[in-house]
C-alpha cells in the first residue's frame, strides 16, 4: 500500500463556550479517523451540526484539534495552513472581498516561485481552467459584478492557485441556484483528471456525494459512523443512520427500518452521555447502545461501521 495523501487518526475537537459562571462545551468532532489517497474524491456526509465543517477545517489546519493526529504524505502536518491543502467555502458571497478585483484575489493566492511577469499569465490560466473566459475581462471584475456560480468559480480558481494536492470543498454548491450546481460539481470532478488533485467534498446531500465521490464517510453527532466505497455504501448501507439518510433520498428503495442484522429491538432506551448518539432515533437500539459507545468495526471490502448491531 502506498502512503495516503492525508491520514487523520482519532480527531476530536471540543469548543468551549461561555464566561466565568456558565461554561458549556461542544464536542464538535469525536474520534474521527479517515484517509484520503492522492487523486481520490472522498465525501464527508451528515446532517447540519454533525461536525463536517470542523473536520474539514482541522484538515486544512484552520482549526487545531483537541486530540488526534494529522499526517500529510506520511509526515505529521504542522500547525499552520499549507499551500498543499486548500479550502473552498460554502459562502460564495462572503468569501471574496468586495473591495478587491478577481485578479487581485488570485495574484495574492499564487505562490511566488514564478517571475513576477508570469503572475498575470497564471491568473489568466486559472480563470480559463474554471471556465471564466475571457480571462482578462474577469480578472478586472469585482464580486458584485459576478453571479453566485461565477463567484464560486473564482473561489475554486483561488484554491488552485498555490497548486494544492488536496482541496477541501465545504458545501460548495449549497448556496447556489439548482441550475449551476451540476456545472460546479463537474468542474470539481474535473480537477482530479486535469490536475491530479484529491478532493474532500463536504455535503449534507447524499445524492451529490454519490455523483462525485469514490468513497463516502458518514458523520453523526461528531462521530464517523460509517465509511465505505461510494457504491457499496449506497447499495448496502450498514449503519441505521446511513439507511435513514438513504431512505430520505427521492427514488430510493431503502427502507429505514429494514434490519440488515438480527438483533432484538427493545423499548427505546434514553440517551446517555456515554452511549451511541444515534440511540434515540435508532430502530435497532438496545440497552447496550444507550450506555456503551460502539467501537469501530472493520468490514470486508475496505469499509467500517460504528454500530453494536453490525458484526464483522
Ligand atoms: P456541520 O458543518 O456538520 O454543520 P460544524 O462543524 O459546523 O458542523 O458544527 C459542529 C458543532 O460544533 C455544532 O454544534 C456547532 O454549533 C459547533 N461549533 C462549530 N463551530 C464552532 C465554534 N467556532 N465555536 C463553538 N461551537 C462551534
Ligand atoms: Mg458545515
**pLDDT tens sequence for the chain (312 residues):** 689 999 999 999 999 987 777 788 999 999 999 999 999 999 999 999 999 999 999 999 999 999 999 999 999 988 888 899 999 999 888 889 999 999 999 999 987 655 666 899 999 999 999 999 999 999 999 999 999 999 999 999 999 999 999 999 999 999 999 999 999 999 999 999 999 999 999 999 999 999 999 999 999 999 999 999 999 999 999 999 999 999 888 777 666 544 444 444 444 445 556 899 999 999 999 999 999 999 999 999 999 999 999 977
In a domain, 86, yes or no: no
177 and 73 in one domain? yes
Identify the nearest ligand to the CA of 45 by its number. Answer: 1
Contact 191, 88 (CB under 8 A): no
Is 221 touching ligand 1 by the criterion CB < 6 Å?
no
Identify the nearest ligand to the CA of 54 by its number. Answer: 1
In a domain, 83, yes or no: no
Contact 37, 209 (CB under 8 A): no
Is 79 touching ligand 1 by the criterion CB < 6 Å?
no
Number of structural domains (the chain) is 3
Q: State the distance from the centre of ligand 1 to the C-alpha of 28, rounded, in angstroms.
A: 6
The x, y and z cell numbers of residue 128, run together, are 480559463
Is 12 touching ligand 1 by the criterion CB < 6 Å?
no
What stretches of the chain adopt beta strand conformation (E)? 6-18, 23-36, 41-45, 67-72, 75-76, 85-88, 166-170, 198-203, 215-220, 223-229, 297-299, 303-305
**Crossing angle, helix 178-195 and helix 148-160, to 10 degrees?**
20
Q: Could you tell which of 51, 56, 91 is best to mutate to test the pocket of ligand 1, judged by most ligand atoms within 8 Å of the CB? A: 51
The CATH code of the domain that includes 19 is: 3.40.50.300
Is 293 touching ligand 1 by the criterion CB < 6 Å?
no
Q: Which atom of ligand 1 is nearest to the CA of 170?
A: 2
Q: State the distance from the centre of ligand 2 to the C-alpha of 184, rounded, in angstroms.
A: 18
Contact 309, 237 (CB under 8 A): no
Ligand 1, atom 25: nearest CA belongs to which residue? Answer: 15
Q: Residues 110, 122, 131, CA angle at the centre, nearest 5°? A: 105
137 and 101 in one domain? yes
In a domain, 84, yes or no: no
Identify the domain boundary among 214, 235, 256: 235
In a domain, 250, yes or no: yes
The x, y and z cell numbers of residue 36, run together, are 484520503
Range of the domain at 230: 1-77+165-235
| Of 2, 4, 17, 16, residue with least CA distance to 69 | 4
179 and 58 in one domain? yes
Q: Could you tell which of 54, 62, 65, 204 is best to mutate to test the pocket of ligand 1, judged by most ligand atoms within 8 Å of the CB? A: 54
Amino acid at each position: 500500500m502506498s502512503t495516503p495523501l492525508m491520514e487523520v487518526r482519532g480527531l476530536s475537537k471540543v469548543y468551549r463556550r461561555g464566561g466565568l459562571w456558565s461554561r458549556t462545551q461542544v464536542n464538535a468532532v469525536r474520534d474521527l479517523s479517515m484517509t484520503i489517497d492522492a487523486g481520490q474524491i472522498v465525501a464527508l456526509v451528515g446532517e447540519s451540526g454533525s461536525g463536517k465543517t470542523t473536520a474539514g477545517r482541522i484538515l486544512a489546519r484552520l482549526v487545531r484539534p483537541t486530540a488526534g493526529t494529522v499526517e500529510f504524505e506520511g509526515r505529521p502536518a504542522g500547525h499552520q495552513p499549507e499551500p498543499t491543502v486548500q479550502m473552498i467555502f460554502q459562502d460564495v458571497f462572503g468569501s471574496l472581498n468586495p473591495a478587491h478585483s478577481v485578479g487581485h484575489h488570485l495574484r495574492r493566492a499564487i505562490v511566488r516561485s514564478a517571475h513576477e511577469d508570469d503572475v498575470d499569465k497564471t491568473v489568466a490560466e486559472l480563470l480559463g481552467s474554471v471556465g471564466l473566459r475571457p480571462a482578462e475581462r474577469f480578472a478586472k471584475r469585482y464580486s458584485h459584478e459576478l453571479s453566485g456560480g461565477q463567484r464560486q468559480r473564482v473561489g475554486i480558481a483561488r484554491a488552485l492557485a498555490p497548486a494544492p494536492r488536496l482541496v477541501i470543498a465545504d458545501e460548495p454548491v449549497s448556496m447556489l441556484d439548482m441550475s449551476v450546481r451540476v456545472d460546479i460539481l463537474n468542474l470539481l470532478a474535473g480537477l482530479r483528471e486535469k490536475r491530479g488533485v484529491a478532493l474532500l467534498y463536504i455535503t449534507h446531500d447524499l445524492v451529490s456525494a454519490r455523483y462525485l465521490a469514490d468513497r463516502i464517510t458518514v458523520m453523526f453527532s461528531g462521530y464517523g459512523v460509517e465509511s465505505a466505497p461510494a457504491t457499496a455504501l449506497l447499495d448496502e448501507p450498514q449503519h441505521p443512520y446511513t439507511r435513514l439518510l438513504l431512505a430520505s433520498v427521492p427514488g430510493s428503495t431503502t427502507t429505514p427500518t429494514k434490519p440488515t442484522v438480527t438483533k432484538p429491538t427493545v423499548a427505546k432506551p434514553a440517551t446517555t452521555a456515554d452511549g451511541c448518539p444515534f440511540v434515540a432515533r435508532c430502530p435497532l437500539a438496545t440497552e447496550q447502545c444507550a450506555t456503551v459507545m460502539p467501537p469501530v468495526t472493520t468490514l470486508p471490502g475496505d469499509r467500517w461501521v460504528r454500530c453494536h448491531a453490525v458484526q464483522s
